[in-house]
A = this chain, B = another copy of it.
Amino acid sequence: MPNSGKPPKPPAPKPPTRNARVIRSTADFARYVGLARTTVSRVLNGHPGLKTQTVERVQKAIEETGFTPNAYALHLKGKRTATVGICMENLLTAPAVLKLAALQRRLRERSHASLIEVLPPGGSREVIRHFLSMRVDAVVFIGHFIEEEVSQRVHELGTHDTPHLVIDQLGIPETDTVALDRVRGMRDVMAHLLDLGHTSFGLLAINGLTRSVRDRLSGIEAELQARGMKPADCTQSLDHLHVRDNDFKYGRALALSFVEEKHRPTAYVALNDEVAIGAMHGFQAAGLRIPHDVSVAGFNNQEICLMPTPMLTSVDQQVEQTVNTAVDLLLAQIGHPRKPHPLVHMISPELVARDSTGPAPKSVLGLKR
């Protein structure tokens, strides 16, 4: 029936396998609805000036067949891919995964799809090439990467006029950056503990040369100096005694070492929540009460902060704000010429005080035998 009345058509091309109910092209689909390809295309793209009846007919047919226009053909025609590539350092830490989930959600709200890839060690080149071949509109990096490597990738993206942005890691040239103000975060923790009367501080896993650790240390020192105290005199680190691992066990080991110290600090600030919780266990195992005898503060404000008894004081990363800022910056870049100077946007963290921190013990001087 559909082949009748079409004399100009040659020997009839390939007979469409009618039993295959799967419709894969606007041509097939137009035939199915009984409209011209052009018309179907216009309905699909919401052009004005179409009869309501026609629009409904197409919509009904979409429902029936589940037809989706081929994205590859669509974007070939020059349409934006409306896709953002997301490079993750890994999916091993809760804060990173939270940011990923929030970022994808936010991008979707702004009508963008996302391509997520965990950068395999040394394999960032291929991931970026994959993103470029997929003609992503922009690329986001989340995490702390090898500086040299991510710098190169960022430069490559610049070469291809592809907007990009780094979340978390400061110090990468030629790119916009959104990062937590870790200096501020640590100052807030210290201010909180100082206000509680503490004067001696144990540092848990806050040693090392990465920017993120150095910033924490800067924050600690800045707040102490602001109060007229000398950091060297009132802080102590025992990280050299153990093999670093930044996890529970490491925190516990550090705490047990501190317990054996003559002049044991009364307040402890940790690199992250895991170390802090490990330390709490260590102190409690040694018979110390928290926060009666010692106060402990974490960093990141993960869900696990609610797990120990008492619950852990920590610093919230403000993930939503971070992600929203990142998306705003990124989408503003798409389709616009590169700005002369990349932007660095700092996010202010928020101290969440819980019961793992309390007033400094009155007997603190007595303890220093």
Contacts and interface: CB of A to CB of B under 8 A. Distances in A.
B133 A66 contact: no
A120 B104 CA distance: 11
Contacts of A117: 104
Contacts of A20: 161
17 contacts: A21-B159, A66-B156, A68-B133, A69-B133, A71-B72, A71-B133, A72-B72, A73-B76, A90-B101, A91-B97, A104-B118, A114-B116, A247-B303, A274-B307, A277-B307, A281-B307, A281-B308
Interface residues of A, number: 57
A115 B115 contact: yes
A70 interface: yes
A190 to B, nearest CB: 26
Nearest to A100: B91
Interface in A303-354: 303-304, 306-309
Contact of A113 (B72, B130, B278): B130
Contacts of A100: 91
Number of copies: 2
Interface of A: 20-22, 66, 68-76, 81, 90-92, 94, 97-98, 100-101, 104-105, 108, 113-118, 120, 129-130, 132-135, 156, 159-161, 247-249, 252, 274, 277-278, 281, 285, 303-304, 306-309
A279 to B, nearest CB: 12
A26 to B, nearest CB: 12
Contacts of A104: 116-118
A335 B181 CA distance: 51
A133 B75 CA distance: 11
A159 B113 contact: no
Given A92-B101, A285-B309, 5 more contacts: A22-B160, A66-B156, A71-B133, A72-B73, A76-B76
Nearest to A126: B108
A252 to B, nearest CB: 8
A132 B73 CA distance: 13
Contacts of A118: 101, 104-105
